[in-house]
Structure 1
Amino acid sequence: MSRRRRAEKRQTAPDPVYQSCLLAKFVNKIMYDGKKSVAQRIVYDALEKFAKRVKAEDPLAAFEQALENAKPALEVKSRRIGGATYQVPIEIPANRRISMAMGWIIQHSRAKAGRAMDERLAAELSDCFNNQGTTIKKKDDTHRMAEANKAFAHYKW
Protein backbone atom coordinates (compact mmCIF):
# COMPACT_ATOMS: atom_id res chain seq x y z
CA MET A 1 0.00 0.00 0.00
CA SER A 2 1.19 3.49 -0.83
CA ARG A 3 2.49 5.61 2.02
CA ARG A 4 1.93 8.82 0.11
CA ARG A 5 -1.10 10.99 0.47
CA ARG A 6 -3.01 11.66 -2.69
CA ALA A 7 -3.32 15.28 -3.76
CA GLU A 8 -6.74 16.77 -3.23
CA LYS A 9 -8.38 18.48 -6.19
CA ARG A 10 -9.01 22.15 -5.58
CA GLN A 11 -12.41 23.50 -6.47
CA THR A 12 -12.44 26.46 -8.85
CA ALA A 13 -14.51 29.37 -7.59
CA PRO A 14 -17.42 30.22 -9.91
CA ASP A 15 -17.03 33.20 -12.23
CA PRO A 16 -18.53 36.53 -11.09
CA VAL A 17 -20.99 37.07 -13.97
CA TYR A 18 -22.59 33.68 -14.72
CA GLN A 19 -21.75 31.85 -11.44
CA SER A 20 -20.40 28.90 -13.43
CA CYS A 21 -17.36 26.85 -12.39
CA LEU A 22 -16.99 25.60 -15.97
CA LEU A 23 -16.71 29.14 -17.31
CA ALA A 24 -14.24 30.02 -14.53
CA LYS A 25 -12.01 27.14 -15.65
CA PHE A 26 -12.27 28.37 -19.24
CA VAL A 27 -11.22 31.89 -18.16
CA ASN A 28 -8.26 30.40 -16.28
CA LYS A 29 -7.18 28.49 -19.40
CA ILE A 30 -7.38 31.65 -21.55
CA MET A 31 -5.36 33.68 -19.02
CA TYR A 32 -1.77 34.72 -19.77
CA ASP A 33 0.70 35.96 -17.13
CA GLY A 34 -1.93 36.10 -14.38
CA LYS A 35 -3.99 38.76 -16.17
CA LYS A 36 -7.38 37.43 -15.18
CA SER A 37 -9.34 40.63 -15.84
CA VAL A 38 -8.11 40.67 -19.46
CA ALA A 39 -9.05 36.98 -19.85
CA GLN A 40 -12.50 37.60 -18.35
CA ARG A 41 -13.14 40.52 -20.70
CA ILE A 42 -12.15 38.39 -23.70
CA VAL A 43 -14.38 35.47 -22.62
CA TYR A 44 -17.43 37.57 -21.74
CA ASP A 45 -17.22 39.60 -24.98
CA ALA A 46 -16.79 36.37 -26.94
CA LEU A 47 -19.82 34.82 -25.20
CA GLU A 48 -22.01 37.81 -26.10
CA LYS A 49 -20.92 37.70 -29.75
CA PHE A 50 -21.30 33.91 -29.81
CA ALA A 51 -24.84 34.08 -28.37
CA LYS A 52 -25.84 36.65 -31.01
CA ARG A 53 -24.33 34.51 -33.77
CA VAL A 54 -26.20 31.33 -32.81
CA LYS A 55 -29.31 33.28 -31.69
CA ALA A 56 -29.30 31.83 -28.16
CA GLU A 57 -31.09 33.46 -25.24
CA ASP A 58 -28.78 31.93 -22.63
CA PRO A 59 -25.09 32.33 -23.58
CA LEU A 60 -23.99 29.94 -20.81
CA ALA A 61 -26.22 27.10 -22.04
CA ALA A 62 -24.99 27.65 -25.60
CA PHE A 63 -21.38 27.63 -24.35
CA GLU A 64 -21.99 24.35 -22.51
CA GLN A 65 -23.53 22.84 -25.65
CA ALA A 66 -20.55 23.92 -27.77
CA LEU A 67 -18.18 22.40 -25.20
CA GLU A 68 -20.23 19.19 -25.13
CA ASN A 69 -19.94 18.92 -28.92
CA ALA A 70 -16.14 19.34 -28.70
CA LYS A 71 -15.55 16.73 -25.96
CA PRO A 72 -13.77 13.56 -27.13
CA ALA A 73 -14.81 10.16 -25.76
CA LEU A 74 -11.78 8.05 -26.77
CA GLU A 75 -8.08 8.62 -27.32
CA VAL A 76 -5.04 6.45 -28.00
CA LYS A 77 -2.07 5.98 -25.70
CA SER A 78 1.20 4.34 -26.64
CA ARG A 79 1.90 1.05 -24.89
CA ARG A 80 5.16 -0.81 -25.34
CA ILE A 81 4.77 -4.58 -25.37
CA GLY A 82 7.71 -6.80 -26.24
CA GLY A 83 9.62 -4.85 -28.86
CA ALA A 84 6.60 -3.18 -30.43
CA THR A 85 4.73 -0.02 -29.52
CA TYR A 86 0.95 -0.18 -29.90
CA GLN A 87 -1.54 2.66 -29.97
CA VAL A 88 -4.09 1.44 -27.43
CA PRO A 89 -7.52 3.12 -27.43
CA ILE A 90 -8.74 4.14 -23.96
CA GLU A 91 -11.81 5.93 -22.67
CA ILE A 92 -11.13 9.45 -21.41
CA PRO A 93 -12.18 10.44 -17.85
CA ALA A 94 -14.80 13.21 -17.60
CA ASN A 95 -12.52 15.95 -16.22
CA ARG A 96 -9.90 15.29 -18.92
CA ARG A 97 -12.60 15.41 -21.63
CA ILE A 98 -13.58 18.90 -20.53
CA SER A 99 -9.97 20.00 -20.28
CA MET A 100 -9.10 18.66 -23.75
CA ALA A 101 -12.14 20.32 -25.33
CA MET A 102 -11.32 23.67 -23.74
CA GLY A 103 -7.68 23.40 -24.77
CA TRP A 104 -8.57 22.60 -28.37
CA ILE A 105 -11.06 25.47 -28.62
CA ILE A 106 -8.50 27.94 -27.25
CA GLN A 107 -5.66 26.54 -29.37
CA HIS A 108 -7.64 26.74 -32.60
CA SER A 109 -9.00 30.21 -31.86
CA ARG A 110 -5.47 31.48 -31.17
CA ALA A 111 -4.33 29.96 -34.49
CA LYS A 112 -6.82 32.04 -36.49
CA ALA A 113 -5.25 35.28 -37.70
CA GLY A 114 -6.40 38.79 -38.43
CA ARG A 115 -9.07 39.50 -35.81
CA ALA A 116 -9.33 40.24 -32.10
CA MET A 117 -9.22 37.27 -29.73
CA ASP A 118 -12.84 37.66 -28.60
CA GLU A 119 -14.04 37.49 -32.23
CA ARG A 120 -11.86 34.45 -32.97
CA LEU A 121 -13.10 32.72 -29.81
CA ALA A 122 -16.73 33.50 -30.68
CA ALA A 123 -16.19 32.09 -34.19
CA GLU A 124 -14.64 28.87 -32.82
CA LEU A 125 -17.43 28.45 -30.24
CA SER A 126 -20.11 28.92 -32.91
CA ASP A 127 -18.34 26.35 -35.09
CA CYS A 128 -18.36 23.90 -32.18
CA PHE A 129 -22.02 24.67 -31.50
CA ASN A 130 -22.83 23.81 -35.14
CA ASN A 131 -20.61 20.67 -35.12
CA GLN A 132 -18.10 21.98 -37.65
CA GLY A 133 -14.71 23.66 -37.70
CA THR A 134 -11.19 22.76 -36.65
CA THR A 135 -11.98 21.69 -33.08
CA ILE A 136 -14.61 19.21 -34.22
CA LYS A 137 -12.22 17.94 -36.89
CA LYS A 138 -9.60 17.35 -34.17
CA LYS A 139 -12.16 15.43 -32.09
CA ASP A 140 -13.16 13.32 -35.11
CA ASP A 141 -9.50 12.59 -35.92
CA THR A 142 -8.93 11.46 -32.32
CA HIS A 143 -11.98 9.17 -32.51
CA ARG A 144 -10.94 7.84 -35.91
CA MET A 145 -7.46 7.00 -34.58
CA ALA A 146 -8.99 5.13 -31.63
CA GLU A 147 -11.39 3.29 -33.93
CA ALA A 148 -8.57 2.26 -36.27
CA ASN A 149 -6.60 0.77 -33.37
CA LYS A 150 -9.56 -1.04 -31.81
CA ALA A 151 -7.74 -4.35 -32.39
CA PHE A 152 -5.23 -3.43 -29.66
CA ALA A 153 -7.89 -2.64 -27.04
CA HIS A 154 -7.06 -5.85 -25.15
CA TYR A 155 -3.68 -4.29 -24.21
CA LYS A 156 -5.52 -1.81 -22.01
CA TRP A 157 -4.00 -1.44 -18.54
Structure 2
Amino acid sequence: MAGMKGLKKRRRIQIIIVAFVALAGATALVGYAMRDGINFFRSPSQVAEAPPPPTEVFRIGGLVEEGSLVRGQGETVTFRVTDGGASIPVSFTGVLPDLFGEGQGMVGTGRYVNGVFEASEILAKHDENYMPKEVVDALKEQGVYVEPDTEPNG
Protein backbone atom coordinates (compact mmCIF):
# COMPACT_ATOMS: atom_id res chain seq x y z
CA MET A 1 0.00 0.00 0.00
CA ALA A 2 2.87 2.41 0.78
CA GLY A 3 4.18 1.96 -2.77
CA MET A 4 0.83 3.03 -4.19
CA LYS A 5 0.86 6.32 -2.20
CA GLY A 6 4.35 7.12 -3.43
CA LEU A 7 3.29 6.46 -7.03
CA LYS A 8 0.25 8.75 -6.70
CA LYS A 9 2.39 11.49 -5.16
CA ARG A 10 4.99 11.21 -7.94
CA ARG A 11 2.25 11.27 -10.61
CA ARG A 12 0.69 14.40 -9.03
CA ILE A 13 4.09 16.18 -9.01
CA GLN A 14 4.64 15.22 -12.68
CA ILE A 15 1.24 16.64 -13.65
CA ILE A 16 1.98 19.89 -11.81
CA ILE A 17 5.36 20.21 -13.55
CA VAL A 18 3.85 19.51 -16.99
CA ALA A 19 1.08 22.07 -16.35
CA PHE A 20 3.65 24.68 -15.27
CA VAL A 21 5.79 24.06 -18.39
CA ALA A 22 2.69 24.31 -20.61
CA LEU A 23 1.64 27.58 -18.95
CA ALA A 24 5.13 29.04 -19.32
CA GLY A 25 5.23 27.99 -22.98
CA ALA A 26 1.82 29.52 -23.69
CA THR A 27 2.85 32.77 -22.00
CA ALA A 28 6.05 32.89 -24.07
CA LEU A 29 4.12 32.32 -27.31
CA VAL A 30 1.61 35.08 -26.50
CA GLY A 31 4.45 37.48 -25.68
CA TYR A 32 6.27 36.58 -28.91
CA ALA A 33 3.10 37.08 -30.97
CA MET A 34 2.43 40.50 -29.41
CA ARG A 35 5.94 41.91 -29.73
CA ASP A 36 5.04 43.92 -32.87
CA GLY A 37 1.47 44.64 -31.81
CA ILE A 38 2.32 46.98 -28.95
CA ASN A 39 3.00 50.49 -30.22
CA PHE A 40 3.88 53.26 -27.81
CA PHE A 41 2.62 56.80 -28.41
CA ARG A 42 5.08 59.69 -28.64
CA SER A 43 4.52 63.38 -29.26
CA PRO A 44 6.74 65.22 -31.77
CA SER A 45 8.53 66.91 -28.82
CA GLN A 46 9.35 63.52 -27.28
CA VAL A 47 10.68 62.23 -30.62
CA ALA A 48 12.82 65.36 -31.07
CA GLU A 49 14.24 65.11 -27.52
CA ALA A 50 14.99 61.38 -27.58
CA PRO A 51 14.78 59.84 -31.06
CA PRO A 52 13.83 56.15 -30.91
CA PRO A 53 15.91 53.55 -32.78
CA PRO A 54 14.95 52.96 -36.45
CA THR A 55 13.78 49.43 -35.63
CA GLU A 56 11.12 50.56 -33.13
CA VAL A 57 7.53 50.87 -34.35
CA PHE A 58 5.58 53.56 -32.48
CA ARG A 59 2.72 56.02 -32.90
CA ILE A 60 3.16 59.75 -33.28
CA GLY A 61 0.37 62.30 -33.13
CA GLY A 62 -0.28 65.98 -33.35
CA LEU A 63 -1.47 68.54 -35.85
CA VAL A 64 -0.51 68.56 -39.52
CA GLU A 65 1.60 71.71 -39.83
CA GLU A 66 0.10 74.44 -42.04
CA GLY A 67 1.90 74.75 -45.39
CA SER A 68 3.84 71.49 -44.99
CA LEU A 69 1.64 69.05 -46.97
CA VAL A 70 3.34 68.03 -50.23
CA ARG A 71 1.88 65.42 -52.54
CA GLY A 72 4.70 63.72 -54.43
CA GLN A 73 4.81 61.31 -57.33
CA GLY A 74 2.21 58.55 -57.10
CA GLU A 75 0.80 57.98 -53.64
CA THR A 76 3.73 59.41 -51.65
CA VAL A 77 2.85 62.33 -49.36
CA THR A 78 5.15 64.28 -47.05
CA PHE A 79 4.17 66.68 -44.31
CA ARG A 80 5.23 67.78 -40.84
CA VAL A 81 3.42 66.89 -37.62
CA THR A 82 3.67 69.29 -34.69
CA ASP A 83 2.55 69.61 -31.10
CA GLY A 84 3.56 73.26 -30.89
CA GLY A 85 6.92 72.45 -29.33
CA ALA A 86 8.58 70.47 -32.09
CA SER A 87 7.87 69.50 -35.67
CA ILE A 88 8.73 66.11 -37.19
CA PRO A 89 8.80 65.38 -40.95
CA VAL A 90 6.55 62.49 -42.00
CA SER A 91 6.60 60.43 -45.19
CA PHE A 92 3.65 58.22 -46.12
CA THR A 93 2.93 56.14 -49.18
CA GLY A 94 -0.67 55.13 -49.56
CA VAL A 95 -4.17 56.54 -49.53
CA LEU A 96 -4.80 59.19 -46.89
CA PRO A 97 -8.10 59.34 -44.95
CA ASP A 98 -10.72 61.70 -46.42
CA LEU A 99 -10.61 64.05 -43.41
CA PHE A 100 -6.81 64.39 -43.48
CA GLY A 101 -5.57 67.95 -44.02
CA GLU A 102 -3.39 70.79 -42.78
CA GLY A 103 -4.21 71.99 -39.29
CA GLN A 104 -6.06 68.74 -38.56
CA GLY A 105 -5.27 66.18 -35.85
CA MET A 106 -3.63 62.93 -36.91
CA VAL A 107 -1.99 59.81 -35.50
CA GLY A 108 0.54 57.82 -37.52
CA THR A 109 2.13 54.43 -36.95
CA GLY A 110 5.63 53.76 -38.26
CA ARG A 111 9.37 54.13 -37.67
CA TYR A 112 11.70 57.13 -37.24
CA VAL A 113 14.48 56.62 -39.80
CA ASN A 114 17.20 59.19 -40.61
CA GLY A 115 15.22 62.09 -39.12
CA VAL A 116 11.96 61.25 -40.93
CA PHE A 117 8.96 59.40 -39.52
CA GLU A 118 8.15 56.76 -42.15
CA ALA A 119 4.47 56.08 -41.58
CA SER A 120 2.86 52.77 -42.49
CA GLU A 121 -0.58 53.95 -41.36
CA ILE A 122 -2.20 57.38 -40.95
CA LEU A 123 -5.39 58.02 -39.01
CA ALA A 124 -7.25 61.32 -39.08
CA LYS A 125 -9.89 62.63 -36.74
CA HIS A 126 -13.32 61.34 -37.70
CA ASP A 127 -15.39 64.49 -37.15
CA GLU A 128 -14.79 68.15 -36.46
CA ASN A 129 -14.72 67.80 -32.66
CA TYR A 130 -12.80 64.56 -32.11
CA MET A 131 -9.08 64.23 -31.47
CA PRO A 132 -7.32 61.21 -29.93
CA LYS A 133 -6.69 61.56 -26.18
CA GLU A 134 -2.91 61.15 -26.61
CA VAL A 135 -2.81 64.02 -29.14
CA VAL A 136 -4.93 66.28 -26.88
CA ASP A 137 -2.63 65.52 -23.92
CA ALA A 138 0.51 66.25 -25.97
CA LEU A 139 -0.94 69.53 -27.28
CA LYS A 140 -2.07 70.58 -23.78
CA GLU A 141 1.44 69.83 -22.48
CA GLN A 142 2.85 72.25 -25.07
CA GLY A 143 0.16 74.83 -24.29
CA VAL A 144 -1.26 74.95 -27.84
CA TYR A 145 -4.50 72.97 -27.43
CA VAL A 146 -7.70 74.90 -28.13
CA GLU A 147 -11.02 73.40 -27.01
CA PRO A 148 -13.27 72.80 -30.04
CA ASP A 149 -16.42 74.87 -30.34
CA THR A 150 -19.14 72.36 -29.46
CA GLU A 151 -22.02 74.85 -29.61
CA PRO A 152 -24.33 74.23 -32.57
CA ASN A 153 -24.31 76.99 -35.17
CA GLY A 154 -27.66 78.66 -35.52
TM range, normalised to the smaller chain?
A: under 0.3
Task: Give the TM-score, by structure 1 length.
Answer: 0.20
- Bigger Cα Rg: 2
More helix by share: 1
Task: Give the TM-score, by structure 2 length.
Answer: 0.20
Higher relative contact order (CA 8 A, sep 6+): 1
